[in-house]
């Protein structure tokens, strides 16, 4: 037998000492009261989070912008003419890296036994931690809550969880699930240029600003009519493409113009007139809150969300006629490519069976859902609600979209008692959902049984790092990097719904709603504290 060296003796001695210390610590842990154990957990998680934030080891990104998620702060909108609604001002701060404590979605906490193998939290344990926090005076008179365990698939804590309340932007979770259910995560929205020659058709929809709805050949010798047909892609852009993989870029009017010009030249056509068709959508295009920097008029054809500045998300002045602006931008791109566009673009209706000249398609629906949720994008939300209506064969209007969203959720057997979907963005105060519905939406999206809904979870802002939660958690907050949640903010309304992995490695989803608040910052902080408490708790 080989001789045991002195270093081996020291190593074995150290191992025995470590085991003895570990056994002693375990005995102290088991003997300690539950409240003391929870305090120890909170301290450990907070320390780990602070170290991880300082290290900044793991970047959180999404496919919709080649990994460059720009931080966005959520602030309550002021009341008054044209100012109601959730406001998200763009931050100029660089995106911080998410810490290692951020667990993989559907996984467990670092060192944990796995989300199904970890101990199941109890209602009494959660109530002991959350009930006092729900009494925070910064919260309004209506306070509802629902916490569900993903592996067990059931609610483990609830307070008035079935009572409908104004959701603000958390209603986007319902729109996301409805759109993904109706269309699938791989669906892409087409914007098309067609041959406009033929007999004029009738759309039955009034055009923007009194525009005519006829189409067909102009009757002018040597001039051919083409029609730009909007399919409702809310992320269509007219800007120069950003660096990065082409597969991560949104559909671009420049690409469409290049393909159209090439096809026209192949047919020997260099002079055209241009029409544009927005008949995919119907009903009023103006949101009930009126002209507002939070949202453009809802049109089946728009570029860059009708923004009049170079912003990509958040509030911005908007063009009052998005389709006209998009058509003019497209005409300019055609002219740059050697096609003469005679006159100004005019509203038109594409003839039935019109020949296709060129088409561009949006990123997959899953990517649109991610962008909508991360930045609480109201324009994408209204677009996806109408896409749900189109898929269901209903009018693509505010009313038709609301019906289609509700029907899609009903088909999933979700709790819809008292639910109202007046719009897709949550800007309408007539919207109503319950905390129980929000937590069920997140439960389905987190479940391995519903991979088609995965982007609902991956699109959630990460506390302290991305989207509308980037400015809500201080660097050393115990919830930073561990909470993923959708925010909802209107004047007097604050909501938060998302997912966490608790201290024992159990994946939970939660929804907290409050109305009648008078201190928006205080209410947001109270909700953030509730979410952090769920993450830090091993509540048994």
DSSP 277-304: E-TTS-S--S-TT-SBTTB----SS-SG
pLDDT at 85 over 50: no
- Among the ranges given (69-83, 198-212, 457-471), the one the predictor scored with the smallest mean pLDDT: 69-83
* Residue 106's pLDDT band (cuts 50, 70, 90): low
Give pLDDT, residue 500: 95
The whole-angstrom separation of Cα 375 and Cα 461 is 8
Indicate the SS3 state at residue 329. Answer: helix
Check: pTM over 0.85? Answer yes or no.
Answer: no
- With tokens 């842990």, the residue in question is 29
pLDDT at 68 over 50: no
pLDDT at 70 over 70: no
Residue 199 designated active-site: no
Catalytic residue chosen out of the listed positions 103, 108, 169, 447: 169
pLDDT at 21 over 80: no
pLDDT at 369 over 50: yes
* Residue 6's pLDDT band (cuts 50, 70, 90): very low
Pairing of strands 72-75, 142-149: unpaired
pLDDT digits (tens, 9 = 90+) for 305-319: 999 999 999 999 999
Are the C-beta atoms of 294 and 87 separated by less than 8 Å? yes
Give pLDDT, residue 88: 41
* Residue 153's pLDDT band (cuts 50, 70, 90): very high
Q: Cβ–Cβ contacts within 10 Å for residue 264, how many?
A: 22
Q: CA nearest 229: which of 363, 385, 349?
A: 349
Residue 79 designated active-site: no
* Residue 540's pLDDT band (cuts 50, 70, 90): confident
Q: What is the mean pLDDT of residues 11-38?
A: 48
The whole-angstrom separation of Cα 371 and Cα 379 is 11
Residue 311 designated active-site: no
pLDDT at 280 over 90: yes
Give pLDDT, residue 223: 73
pLDDT at 473 over 90: no
Q: What is the mean pLDDT of residues 43-47?
A: 41
Catalytic residue chosen out of the listed positions 108, 146, 181, 376: 376
* Residue 102's pLDDT band (cuts 50, 70, 90): very low
Are the C-beta atoms of 121 and 539 separated by less than 8 Å? yes
User: For residue 367, what are the contacts with CB-CB under 8 A and spacing of at least 6?
Assistant: 62, 63, 64, 455
Give, as one character, the DSSP assignment of residue 244.
Answer: S
- Among the ranges given (212-221, 268-277, 373-382, 486-495), the one the predictor scored with the smallest mean pLDDT: 212-221
pLDDT at 89 over 90: no
Look at 475 and 128; give whichever has higher pLDDT.
Answer: 128
* Residue 79's pLDDT band (cuts 50, 70, 90): very low
Give pLDDT, residue 256: 98
Element (H, E) at 184: none
Among residues of the chain, what percentage have pLDDT more than 70?
73
Catalytic residue chosen out of the listed positions 108, 172, 362, 394: 172
Q: What is the mean pLDDT of residues 77-91?
A: 36
Element (H, E) at 450: none
pLDDT digits (tens, 9 = 90+) for 238-247: 999 988 888 8
Among residues of the chain, what percentage have pLDDT more than 90?
68
Calculate the average pLDDT of the chain: 81
Indicate the SS3 state at residue 214. Answer: coil
Are the C-beta atoms of 227 and 354 separated by less than 8 Å? yes
Give pLDDT, residue 293: 96
- With tokens 């927005």, the residue in question is 278
Q: Cβ–Cβ contacts within 10 Å for residue 40, how many?
A: 14
Indicate the SS3 state at residue 443. Answer: helix
* Residue 345's pLDDT band (cuts 50, 70, 90): very high
- Among the ranges given (18-32, 163-177, 298-312), the one the predictor scored with the smallest mean pLDDT: 18-32
The whole-angstrom separation of Cα 479 and Cα 483 is 6
The whole-angstrom separation of Cα 404 and Cα 397 is 10
The whole-angstrom separation of Cα 404 and Cα 58 is 39
In degrees and rounded to multiples of 5, residue 327 shows phi and psi of -65, -40
Give pLDDT, residue 537: 87
pLDDT at 74 over 90: no
In degrees and rounded to multiples of 5, residue 140 shows phi and psi of -75, 180
Give pLDDT, residue 105: 57
Q: CA nearest 294: which of 429, 470, 426, 456?
A: 426
pLDDT at 328 over 90: yes
Indicate the SS3 state at residue 485. Answer: strand
The whole-angstrom separation of Cα 117 and Cα 501 is 13
489: which 2 tokens?
């903010």
pLDDT digits (tens, 9 = 90+) for 284-305: 999 999 999 999 999 999 999 9
The whole-angstrom separation of Cα 389 and Cα 405 is 7
The whole-angstrom separation of Cα 101 and Cα 535 is 11
Look at 28 and 300; give whichever has higher pLDDT.
Answer: 300
pLDDT at 116 over 80: no
| DSSP per-residue string spanning 59-96 | ----GGGTT-PPPEEEEPPPPSTTT-S-EEEEP-SPPP
pLDDT at 470 over 50: yes
In degrees and rounded to multiples of 5, residue 497 shows phi and psi of -145, 130
The whole-angstrom separation of Cα 520 and Cα 297 is 28
- With tokens 């690409």, the residue in question is 255
The whole-angstrom separation of Cα 116 and Cα 113 is 8
pLDDT at 165 over 60: yes
């Amino acid at each position: 037998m080989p001789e045991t060296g002195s270093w081996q003796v020291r190593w074995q001695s150290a191992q025995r000492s470590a085991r003895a210390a570990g056994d002693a610590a375990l005995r102290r842990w088991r003997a300690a009261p539950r409240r003391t154990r929870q305090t120890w957990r909170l301290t450990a998680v907070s320390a780990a989070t602070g170290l991880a934030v300082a290290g900044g080891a793991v970047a959180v990104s999404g496919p919709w912008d080649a990994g460059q998620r720009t931080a966005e702060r959520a602030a309550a909108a002021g009341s008054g003419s044209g100012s109601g609604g959730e406001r998200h001002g763009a931050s100029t701060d660089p995106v911080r890296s998410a810490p290692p404590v951020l667990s993989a979605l559907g996984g467990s906490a670092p060192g944990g036994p796995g989300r199904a193998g970890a101990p199941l939290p109890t209602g009494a344990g959660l109530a002991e931690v959350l009930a006092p926090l729900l009494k925070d005076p910064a919260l309004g008179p209506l306070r509802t809550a629902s916490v569900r365990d993903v592996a067990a698939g059931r609610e483990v804590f609830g307070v008035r969880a079935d009572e409908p309340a104004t959701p603000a932007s958390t209603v986007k979770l319902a729109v996301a699930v409805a759109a993904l259910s109706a269309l699938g995560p791989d669906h892409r929205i087409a914007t098309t240029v067609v041959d406009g020659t033929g007999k004029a058709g009738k759309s039955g929809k009034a055009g923007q600003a009194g525009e005519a709805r006829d189409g067909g050949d102009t009757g002018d010798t040597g001039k051919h009519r083409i029609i730009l047909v909007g399919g409702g892609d809310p992320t269509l852009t007219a800007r120069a493409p950003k660096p990065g993989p082409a597969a991560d870029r949104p559909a671009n009017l420049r690409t469409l113009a290049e393909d159209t010009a090439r096809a026209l030249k192949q047919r020997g056509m260099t002079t055209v007139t241009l029409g544009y068709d927005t008949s995919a959508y119907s009903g009023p295009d103006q949101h009930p809150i009126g002209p507002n920097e939070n949202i453009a008029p809802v049109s089946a054809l728009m570029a860059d969300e009708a923004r009049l500045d170079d912003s990509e998300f958040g509030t911005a002045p908007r063009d009052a006629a998005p389709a006209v602006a998009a058509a003019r931008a497209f005409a300019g791109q055609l002219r740059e490519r050697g096609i003469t566009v005679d006159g100004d673009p005019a509203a038109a209706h594409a003839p039935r069976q019109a020949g296709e000249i060129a088409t561009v398609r949006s990123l997959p629906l899953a990517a649109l859902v991610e962008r909508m949720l991360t930045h609480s994008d109201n324009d994408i939300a209204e677009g996806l609600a109408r896409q749900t209506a189109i898929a269901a064969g209903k009018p693509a209007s505010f009313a038709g979209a609301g019906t289609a969203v509700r029907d899609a959720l009903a088909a999933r057997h979700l709790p819809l008692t008292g639910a109202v979907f007046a719009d897709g963005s949550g800007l309408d105060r007539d919207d109503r959902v319950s905390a129980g519905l929000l937590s069920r939406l997140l439960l389905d999206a987190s479940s391995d049984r519903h991979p088609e809904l995965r982007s609902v979870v991956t699109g959630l802002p990460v506390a302290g790092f991305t989207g509308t939660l980037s400015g809500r958690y201080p660097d050393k907050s115990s919830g930073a990097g561990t909470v993923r949640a959708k925010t909802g903010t209107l004047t007097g309304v604050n909501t938060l719904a998302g997912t966490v992995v608790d201290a024992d490695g159990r994946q939970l989803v939660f929804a907290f709603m409050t109305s009648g608040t008078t201190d928006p910052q205080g209410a947001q902080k109270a909700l953030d504290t509730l979410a952090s408490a769920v993450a830090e708790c091993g509540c048994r």
